[in-house]
Structure formats: structure tokens, C-alpha cells
Chains A and B, each alone.
Chain A
């Protein structure tokens, strides 16, 4: 029944889980290729533990971790999933890599996975479905209640540019340097229900909003919202969706740890959210973070103050010291901060490596994905 569909199933506070969409490549030009089904079959046969599944096109697979409360355990599971995936790809003469978008693939060459849901998506969205061959990291954070989830969702909106900049790794798109740190998010923006969650602050209000949207036939389920942060009532989490899949699982785990630590602080301190004006500068800040990464200027919607994203991240990491000790995320945060101080991000690393040869860049991305030899920030 509609009423009980949107119950918020509470989950362990500050538990976390990560989903990573990764690129499936051939090994000659390192273009995307049709390999997801073969890769998944190989993984099934090799009995790789963990959750690896299809995404919308045959050139992507999604890794999903279980539920974790500790960063080191999350990183270990991501490492094991990655190793299983890499081993399967090797046998099939395929490669896999991170990054928010493939630097030079042509979207019209992608093939939609043969299942009813994806065929429906393809039918409805036309070329957008194929253009949606972009690769994101989603992080879930467990919340004790629906009201807490909505508080956390709105409180985190101010930090969304941090996560965009920390994960940014799609400077190239369709063969061109976009001059953005991440080109991926603006692909997502093309969908009609993208953007941020409307200003509703209690679970009852949210449910009423959802029912209204469903009653007039705008949405059928929560899956139809492509928001930057959205509640996931059946998991009892909020899901941050703005991150590109980083170039390494280490960076992915560190970003999840940052979110977990920040969530602890926000749930502990209960800031006043200040009304819908909270989102006044949201779209501009989000754009700036996509375009300029760490160098973006953030505008405070309430007092008009400005600061660089890099400085704001470093200040936030300092502020979180106590929470980081409590959660055991100190090392992960220190590593993120080191990357920020060095001005190094996935996008920066990619621009350094590209040197006019995008095939060689993707080959280097695939090599980076295999191991842990990346510099801090990448």
C-alpha cells in the first residue's frame, strides 16, 4: 500500500556503505566496451565475494560494499572487490578503471543492458540514457529516523561542494577538455528531477510531498529522483550522489570516512538550518565546484561571505578532529587534507597525465585502479 511504502526503516546511526560505478574497457585503445555481462559471469564463476552488478549500459559495473562502521574495514572490502573485479577482467582481456566519465567514448556507441527496467529508461529518456554513461560514487549514511535523515540531508547541503571537489575526476568528456574538474554532474543535471531535495524538514512532510508527486504521476518511486542527496527509506539512510567515482578505492573510502565524520558532528551539534534560503547559493556553489574544483569560490547564502573550497575543506577537517578520533577516521581525513594542500585531485592528475593522448591517459587510469600507488588526493 502506498502509505507504508515510504516508511523510514531506521538503521544504525553513522553506519556507511559505498557504491562505485566503474568503467569497463578494452585493452587496445582503452575505449569503453561491451563487457559487463561477461565480467559478471566470470565473477560469478570465480565466486568473488561481495556485490558486483549491472548498471544501465554494458560498459559499466557497480561495486557495492556491505554496511560498515569503520573506515579501515570499508577500505578492506573495497580493496577485495576491486581485486576480484581486476582478476576477472584480466582473464577476459578487459580493463577496469575509476573516473567520473570516460575521456573520449562516443555516447551513441553505448549499448543499454538488456533488461526491462533499463529498456524503459532508454525508451523514456532517449539519448540521455546513453549519455548517462557516467560513473559515480554513492555513499550511504545510516540515520536513526526519517526526521534525522532530512535534518542531515539539509545540513550537508552546505558541504556538497567539498565532496564534488574531492572526488572530481572527469575533466575530459567526449574527447575534449571540458575545463571542468567534473563534467559528470552536468550530465546528471539534464534529468528533470535532478538538483536538490525540496525544503521539507520532517518525514511526515516528506511523505506528503512524495505522495503528491506520485498521485499526479510525476514519479513512480524514489528511484525517479536524481537528487544530489536523497533519503533511502528502505535502507534507513541518506545517500550522497554528487561524487565522481575516484581513480582509486582508497580515495573512495576516504571520502566516505569524511562524510561519516561530518555526519557525526552535524547530528551531534544540531545546527539551525535557517529555512529554504539555505539553498539560495546552492546551484552556484555546485557549479563553481564542478568547474574549478578546490579553487572554486563558495558563497555563504546567509551573509554573503566567500571562501575557497580548499580552505573550507581544511578548516572543516580541523574542526572534525574530535569526531575523527571517535570514529577512527583520522588517517583518512589527514590523507584527504594532504591532497587538498598539495592541490592534487583526480582531475588534476588526469590533466597532468593526458599530454594530448587520451588513450594513454585511460591506460594509466586502469593501472592506477589496480593498486594503491597513487599520490595523496588521487
Chain B
């Protein structure tokens, strides 16, 4: 009796990808639980695991961290943003106009402060504007993940989710438009200058609307709040991710628009969906781990000073603006400033905006990319701590034995 089949295995690209996913998932989950043991947010553990692998990656060339396995992380982001859209009612500001004022003041202050700072560090004005636009976003992924882990409920929580949603849409729109416009500027063709930003923004929004509308309408046939609807939502996120990438559109903009629009249609027609919630945990772990891996290559020695300055200025702007404005929404003095603190995180979504920019528009320059990625690396760890602390101190977290 002979065996024709080779006795040794063969690790091709797909197999390596799966192996990477399995290892990152396990390491992330383990680090997350360790973090929870010492009363830190789990996502800090996920990110630390990712950073660890990022360092290892340079010594282990066969582990391809930027390969197709990364898509699992993007899917995790997609699911988190979809759940965010479910929680955020964009029309809330009509019932509480001071909420809109808070958002405008917060974004205005953040943009102005970050722009001014980057100019003083010698970044050319157009690129400083792009970076300031990216800095608007308070990581909605961190907000959803921390809120979920703490089982937080209350006005600080709700306003955190709403403001993160709104400033992320603004960041994705502004950064995409500015980049496209700048790129066209260099391309020296007036038609490209007009059409390319339009294509990116309108294309992303149109794609998100089309999928959102189909999903919401289709849910009539699946019954309310059923598993069928959940599967439909998963397919929708996958579809949005695939088509946005294939069409060269903005992935972050498409994903956040998909979540918001689907649930806007749902609300209008009184349809009900289910949240992914804990079901999405494995992909959420992968999202934060992958985001962490990208941060290991940060050149701290070179960029620590401007990055720390950016982190500080951005946080001060958000903290002060929200601390002052949120009081008109009926939050007391302390809770207003805690809301400002909770808005600190900046993470994977901003990283996507930055790396997209760096990849497509090399004119952006290594320095600015370096500063931004370093700032994101700092906030990847510091941000969740701030949000976690703010929600606990605001009295909105569940008691420790009742948390996730």
C-alpha cells in the first residue's frame, strides 16, 4: 500500500491567512481578558496584543499582516459602525438643538486647534487641513465597544455615541473631499478636480444608500428582529465593504453611512433590526488587534513630540468645547466635562483614512503620516481609558459584577 499524497502539509497563502487570524484572535482575546482582570477596558488588551504582533512581524516575514486576513478586521469595524447607526438617531438634534450646537462647537474647536498646531510644526496648510479633518473623529468603534463592555446607559453614553457618529461622518466627508481636491490640484486637470471628490463622496453615499434601502425594504420579508434580518445585515456590511473597495470609494465613509442610513429607513417605516452585539465579538477583537499591528511601526523617537502635542491640543479642544456646550443640553457641570473626556479616542477608522491618504496621495508626506499614526497609536491606548473612566465616573456603567 502506498501513499501518493505528500505526508507533509503545505501552507499556502490562504492557510497562512487563517493561521494568522486564529493566532491574533486567541492572543487578542487573552490580552483582553487580562486587561479586564486589572480593570482596564478589554480593547486596550486587544490593541496591546496587536502592537506586540506588529513588532514580531518585522522578524517573521511569513506572517503577512497586511494581507487578505486584514479584511476580517475591516468587517469587524463594519459591524461596530452598523451597530452605532442603530443606536444613533440623527434627528435627535431637532428635539434638542443644543446638541447640534455642541457638535458644531466641538468640531470647530478641534479643527481649528489641530490645524493651528500642525502649521506651527511646519506642515503645509492644505495637508494640515486634511489632518485636522481626520482628527475630528472620536473613534465610534471605541465608543460602541466601551459602552457595550460597561453596559453603560444614560445621557453621557447616548450623547457620546451621537457625537462620535456625527463627527466621524464629518471627518470622513471632509478628509475625503479635501484629499480628492488636493490630489486633483496636483493633477492639474480641472475636470478631475471637480469630478474626483464628487465621485468619492457621492459614490460612497450612493452605494451605502442603495444597500441600506435594499436591506431595510427586504426586512419586510424576513419578519421583525429575526435572525434572518441579522444575516441580511451581515451580508449588507460585507457587500458594502467589497463594493467600496472594488470601486475605489471611501471605505470608512461607506461603512458609517450604511449603519446610519439603514436605521434611518427602519425608523421611518417602523421596521426593526437586531444588533450584532456580542455575536460580532470575534471580528471586533480582530479589528482592534489589526489596528494595533499597524501601530508597531511608529517612529516614536522622531514623532513623539508633535504627536503628543496633537493629542493634547485635540483633547483640550474637545473637552473644553463639550464641557461648555453640553450644559445647555441639561447635563450638569461634571457630566458635561466627562462627556468631553469620553470623546478622546481616535483609532482604526482614522488610521484607515490616514493610510488610504498615504497610499493614494504620496504628496501628503511621510512627516504628516508619521505624526498622525503616532498620535493614533497613543490614543489607541489612552482613548479607551478616557472613555471608560468618563462613563464610570458619570455613573452610567453597570456595577462591576453585571458588566460584560
Contacts and interface: CB of A to CB of B under 8 A. Distances in A.
A38 B336 CA distance: 13
Interface string A339-378: 0000000000000000011011001000000000000000
Contacts of B330: 38, 41-42, 45, 91-92
B398 interface: yes
B314 interface: no
B153 A33 contact: yes
Interface in B153-186: 153-155, 158
Contacts of B299: none
Contacts of B396: 34
B268 interface: no
Nearest to A93: B92
B70 interface: no
A92 B92 CA distance: 8
Contacts of A15: none
Given A93-B95, A357-B224, A357-B225, A35 B270 contact: no
B272 interface: yes
Between A90, A356, A357, the greatest number of chain B beta carbons within 10 A of the residue's beta carbon is seen for A357
Contacts of B95: 90-91, 93
A363 to B, nearest CB: 7
B154 A28 contact: no
Given A41-B330, A93-B96, A360 B272 contact: yes
Contact of B272 (A90, A114, A357): A357
A318 B89 CA distance: 50
B270 A34 contact: no
A90 B86 CA distance: 18
B224 A93 contact: no
Contacts of A111: 153, 398-399
Main SS class of interface, B: loop
A114 B95 CA distance: 28
Interface string B371-390: 00000000000000000000
Contact of A356 (B86, B224, B332): B224
A28 B224 contact: no
B87 interface: yes
Nearest to B396: A34
Interface residues of A, number: 24
A126 to B, nearest CB: 14
Nearest to B329: A91
A27 interface: yes
B330 to A, nearest CB: 5
Given A90-B96, A93-B89, A359-B272, 19 more contacts: A26-B153, A28-B86, A34-B153, A34-B154, A34-B396, A35-B154, A35-B155, A38-B155, A92-B155, A92-B330, A93-B92, A93-B158, A108-B402, A111-B399, A356-B224, A357-B224, A357-B272, A359-B225, A360-B224
A376 B154 CA distance: 36
A92 B99 CA distance: 10
Interface in A25-66: 26-29, 33-35, 38, 41-42, 45
A27 B272 contact: no
B88 to A, nearest CB: 9
A27 B396 CA distance: 17
A93 B331 CA distance: 13
Nearest to B162: A93
23 contacts: A33-B153, A34-B153, A35-B154, A38-B154, A41-B332, A90-B96, A91-B95, A91-B329, A92-B155, A92-B158, A92-B330, A93-B89, A108-B402, A109-B402, A111-B153, A111-B398, A111-B399, A356-B223, A357-B224, A357-B272, A359-B225, A360-B270, A363-B270
Interface of A: 26-29, 33-35, 38, 41-42, 45, 90-93, 108-109, 111, 114, 356-357, 359-360, 363
B396 to A, nearest CB: 7
A108 B225 CA distance: 22
Q: Which of B86, B87, B223, B272 has the most chain A CB within a 10 Å cutoff?
A: B272
Contacts of A360: 224, 270, 272
Contacts of A45: 330
A-B complex: 3 closest residue pairs judged by Cβ atoms: A34-B153, A357-B224, A91-B96
Contacts of B86: 28
Contacts of A109: 151, 398, 402
B271 to A, nearest CB: 9
Contacts of B329: 91
B155 A28 contact: no
B97 to A, nearest CB: 9
Interface string B257-281: 0000000000000101000000000
Contacts of B395: 114
Contacts of B399: 111
Contacts of A28: 86-87, 89
A322 B21 CA distance: 80
Contacts of B87: 28
A341 to B, nearest CB: 31
Contacts of A35: 153-155
